[in-house]
Each structure stands twice: as structure tokens, then as C-alpha cells.
Structure 1
Amino acid sequence: MTTATPTPGRYAIDVPRSEITFTTKHLFGLGTVRGSFRLRGGTVSLAEPLTASRVDAVADAGSFDTGNKNRDRQVLSKALLDTATYPDIRFTATEAELDQTGVWALRGELTAHGTGAPVTFTVTSADVDGDEIAVEATATVDRYAHGVTGLKGVAGRRLRLTATVRARLTDANHTDGSPA
């Protein structure tokens, strides 16, 4: 992690340079599935102090992709994500906390399939490059907490998410961590 301190303010997520990847299990935990979602957009509002910062991001649920068309079609259907009814997956972090070992945690709510549940993303790397920030964070999500309970045993219950986000400063005057 870099030691440079980012400029407080509002940063717009650079969608083409950001991604969400995941791993999960299937077939009663015997196989590993890797895939991704695309981000639609979002903001990172860095406050002073950094503990008052906020993140708002939206992913395209319909962009779920594992490289297996049959599996992807089933996950996108009403059997699981029902992306026709619930096209967005939203994450809002309302609390940032630095632990005793120097690791940041972003606590907030993940809303998928129309249901919100608490989630904590652990920042695994962060870098500052001028007016840009690059952050990688991981979290484990329980799909049952979002009402996605179909295909028990066949589809994994938990997904390990990795969000790799690049964002550019757009408003250095907005420093209180609240949405504009």
C-alpha cells in the first residue's frame, strides 16, 4: 500500500478500468467457478478524516459472466439473480475503519436481488497517482442473505468478491463523505 495520502474529495469510478471478479464453489463444493460483473458507475468520497469516507457503486447484475453460457443463463434467470427484475447490484459503504495492523475495512450494505445485507470489504491494496486512486478490496458475500436461495448444493452459497477500482478526483471541494 502506498504511503501517499489521497486528496479529500469526490472521485468518479473509471468504469472501463475497474472490475469486480468472484470465485465460488459448485456441485456440492467440488468445483471452483470464477467470473466477473461489470461496474455501471459510482463514486468514492474521501473525507477528512478518512474514517468518514463513503463509497457508492453500482454493478450490472446482467453482466454476470463465468464463460459458461448455460450456467450464466441459469444464474441470470428467475431461478437465481432474476436480472430482468433486479438489474443492479449496489454497494454503499458508510463507514471506513483502520484496524490495529493498518488494514482498512469498508463497512456498508450490498443490495442484490432487491435485498440489502451488511458486508465488509477489506482493502488489500491502495495507491495514489496524482488525482487518481486505485483500490483493491475483497469481501465474502452470502447469497442467501439476499434471498438468492435456489439451486442449493449445485450453486455455491458464498462468493468471494474482489473489487478493483480506479477513480479520478472530480470535486476536491466535496470532502464531508456525504453524497452530493
Structure 2
Amino acid sequence: MTTYKWVLDPTHSELGFKIKHLMISNISGSFQQFQVEVETENDDFRTAQIRAAAEIASIHTNNEQRDHHLRNSDFFEAETYPRLSFQSTKVEQQDEDNFTVYGDLTMKGVRKPVQLKVEYSGVTKDPWGGVRAGFTITGKLNRSDWGINFNGVLETGGLALSEEVKINSEIQLVKQLEPVLA
């Protein structure tokens, strides 16, 4: 069996999230700087070992004032905790194109288990002779599980921000031509 490494194509990938604001609409954001590495036995993604990380300072929501607030101690504490990371623990294939990936997500120094839904879009050769694989990743997490608790109470009694954060990402990986040496 041959082990291959797959690396992120950042130009054709995005690590995004959404959160309800005022309980009536979603605010979208993303991390502009992130890495993903995957190792597989042959080209079998059921065997995938996945590592990912994002730079908190690269958070982007199309509003610089909000981005600055997200980086401070009310939310991510970027100066103290500059990165979030994910390490897979198990991959389960649900059907031909769908997987559940289990792993540990670490934010603000807190590591918690999460599960993500992964839709496999296939593998193709690019115009330069490389091999690429595409994935759509979705999931939900409760931000307070990682100590991200900032909120405000509305006049109506509701909260300004949902506790639930939805993950929505598009990932394109490039297969490295040389197998990983054991």
C-alpha cells in the first residue's frame, strides 16, 4: 500500500462559517489563511488522516470593525490563541459520495470532539498533469463549548447572536506526486 499526501489549493478553497444575528438573518465569515493536509492509503479517502489549521487574525466578515471585535477577548482572543486546529480521529463512508469525519477541534486552548459532513465531489486531472480532489464540508458547533460566550440581550428577550455556528467550506486538494516515505 502506498501513502499519499494531499495539500490545499488555497486559490480554489474557502473555510467559511455562518451565525444568526438578531435571530433573523445569517452573517457569513471566513478565514483567509488556513492549511489542510490529508494523507491517504492509495487514493482511498476512507483512510484519510486530516489536519487543518486557520489563523484567527485572518478572520473576514466583510466588516473590519466586526473582524477586529472577533479577534479580541470577547470572542477568539487572537493574540493569546492565534490558531484554531482540527485533527481527524475517524472517517466513515455513508454512501458513494458522502462521509462523516470525526475529529478534535481546538479553539482558545479548548479541544472538543466534532463531526463534520463531507460531500466528495470526485478526483480529476488538472491541465498541468496534477491530480485534484474536491470536497464540500458542513457541520454545526456550539461556540460556547470553546468559551466563546459574548452576546447581548435584545429588547424582545432574544439574543443578539446564536450559540450555533454553521460550518460551510469548499476544499480542493492537490495530490503530491511522491508517496510519503514510512
Report TM bin, short chain. 0.7 to 0.9
- How far the C-alpha of 1:38 sits from its partner, in A, is 2.1
- How far the C-alpha of 1:8 sits from its partner, in A, is 5.5
Counterpart in the other structure of 1:170: 176
The separation in 1 between residues aligned to 2:55 and 2:160, in whole angstroms, is 24
The separation in 1 between residues aligned to 2:164 and 2:145, in whole angstroms, is 10
| 1:40 and 2:46 are equivalent in the alignment | no
Equivalent position SS for 2:39: strand
Looking at CA atoms only, which structure, 1 or 2, has the larger radius of gyration?
2
Counterpart in the other structure of 1:55: 50
1:53, 1:94 within 8 Å by CA — same for their partners in 2? no
Question: Runs in 1 of length 4+ with deviation above 6 angstroms?
Answer: none
Cα distance change on mapping 1:100 and 1:136 into 2, 3 Å: closer
Counterpart in the other structure of 2:11: 16
The separation in 2 between residues aligned to 1:138 and 1:132, in whole angstroms, is 20
The separation in 2 between residues aligned to 1:121 and 1:150, in whole angstroms, is 25
The separation in 2 between residues aligned to 1:52 and 1:39, in whole angstroms, is 26
Counterpart in the other structure of 1:4: none
| 1:159 and 2:165 are equivalent in the alignment | yes
Deviations 1:151-175 (A, max 9, x none): 2522321111112111111255339
Deviates more, 1:91-100 or 1:72-81: 91-100
Cα distance change on mapping 1:171 and 1:94 into 2, 3 Å: farther
Q: Calculate the TM-score normalised by the size of structure 2.
A: 0.82
Q: Which residues of structure 2 form unaligned runs of 5+?
A: 126-130, 153-158
Counterpart in the other structure of 2:148: 148
Q: How many percent of aligned residue pairs carry the same amino acid?
A: 22
Cα distance change on mapping 1:134 and 1:101 into 2, 3 Å: closer
Q: Calculate the TM-score normalised by the size of structure 1.
A: 0.83
Letter paired with 1:19: E
Q: Which residues of structure 1 form unaligned runs of 5+?
A: 1-6
Letter paired with 1:117: K
Equivalent position SS for 1:145: helix
Letter paired with 1:40: F
1:19, 1:39 within 8 Å by CA — same for their partners in 2? no
Deviations 1:119-142 (A, max 9, x none): 111112422013111111111121
Higher RCO (CA < 8 A, seq sep 6+): 1
Deviates more, 1:139-148 or 1:34-43: 34-43
Deviations 1:80-121 (A, max 9, x none): 111111111111112110126862111101111121111111
Cα distance change on mapping 1:77 and 1:56 into 2, 3 Å: same
Cα distance change on mapping 1:113 and 1:44 into 2, 3 Å: same
Equivalent position SS for 2:102: strand
The separation in 1 between residues aligned to 2:97 and 2:10, in whole angstroms, is 28
